[in-house]
Amino acid sequence: MRWIKLILAVLFLGLLACEIPEVLYDNPLDTDNNSPPSLVFYPDRVETTVGGSAAINFYVLEVTGVAGIHAQIQYDNTKLSVSSVSSGSFFSDAQPPIFIYEDNAGVLDIFTFFMGNAKTKDGTGDIALVVFNTKLPGEAQMQFTAESELLDPQDAVIAINSLGTGVVNAQ
């Protein structure tokens, strides 16, 4: 009995002496990391090889009353090229959204407009999937520019509180 008490006391002191690691949450879709409404990349960091590809979703985060989106992304075109751009699911409805993009050597403009009966969408969702190909080794930065806009049905601008950044790292 005496040994059991001693063993329990040692185990208890051992548990108290252990450090509990602090868990870091750095998900770009967490509102702790952004001030909604936001435009963000997910994932915001992709590791790949030179000549490889990196698929990145572009998201709107906690938006209200949005009928249209212009997302302008600046990227390092010496290290990246756009392979494909496809519409995301945020504006999905019975009728698909209008989706247009234009890639101008380092600046990708995406225009998408909701065509559903409700006229607007609220919430968080992906607006596009972009696949980049890597040309050179190293980190290539990308960011949403201040030209990006969220629009209501009357074409009035809805303020964006934070614009995300991302990195494609090719080794």
Residue 24's pLDDT band (boundaries 50, 70, 90)? Answer: very low
> Which one has a higher pLDDT value, 8 or 156?
156
What's the farthest any 2 CA atoms get from each other in the chain? 79
Judged by average pLDDT, the poorest of 26-35, 36-45, 72-81, 109-118 is: 26-35
User: Is the backbone peptide bond immediately before 37 cis, with ω within 30 degrees of 0?
Assistant: yes
Task: Please name which of 74, 60, 70 lies closest in space to residue 108, comparing C-alpha atoms.
Answer: 74
Three-state SS string over 64-130 comes to: EEECEEEEEEEECCCCEEEEEEEECCCCCCCCCCEEEEEECCCEEEEEEECCCCCCCEEEEEEEEEE
Percent above pLDDT 70 for the chain: 80
